[in-house]
Amino acid sequence: MAVQVVAALVVEDGKFMICQRPAHKARGLLWEFVGGKVEPGETKEQALVRECREELGVTVAPGDVFMEVDHVYPDITIHLTLFRAAIAAGRPQRLEHADIRFIAPADIPNYPFCPADAAILARIEEGL
């Protein structure tokens, strides 16, 4: 059974936020969207708010779903729901990630992303 995972597509001034995974975690140093697993009893939106608070120290306001993807990694199968989200309070801090950046869609090829994000990135390249 797939693990339910949520992530945030935070867009500011035509650029979107990406986070670099810590070196010691699975898929270390690859880039991804901020987020994580949905815990039992949480809605996807509640999980997104909690994960962004834990990982970036910000409060986000989840919007509509940008895209959903299923991906099978060697160690885990995920169902990823990517929400459009806006930062409602706080400034992103590197509480868990190695780095945080805002990049333009044209910059996507310059960053090695987690494989689960490939279809999402292709859609972002078509336009935010």
Summarised one tens digit per residue, pLDDT across range 37-58 is 999 999 999 999 999 999 999 9
pLDDT the model gives residue 128: 81
CATH superfamily of 3-126: Nucleoside Triphosphate Pyrophosphohydrolase (3.90.79.10)
pLDDT the model gives residue 68: 98
pLDDT the model gives residue 95: 96
| Residue pair 73/98 in contact by the 8 Å Cβ criterion | no
Q: Which two tokens stand for residue 66?
A: 């940008």
Place of tokens 């009893």: 41
HSE-CB at 29 with a 13 A cutoff on CA atoms is 2
Binned at pLDDT 50, 70 and 90, residue 30 comes out as very high
Rounded Cα distance between 81 and 116, Å, is 11
- Mean pLDDT of all residues in 10-28: 95
pLDDT the model gives residue 127: 84
Domain range annotation of the chain: 3-126
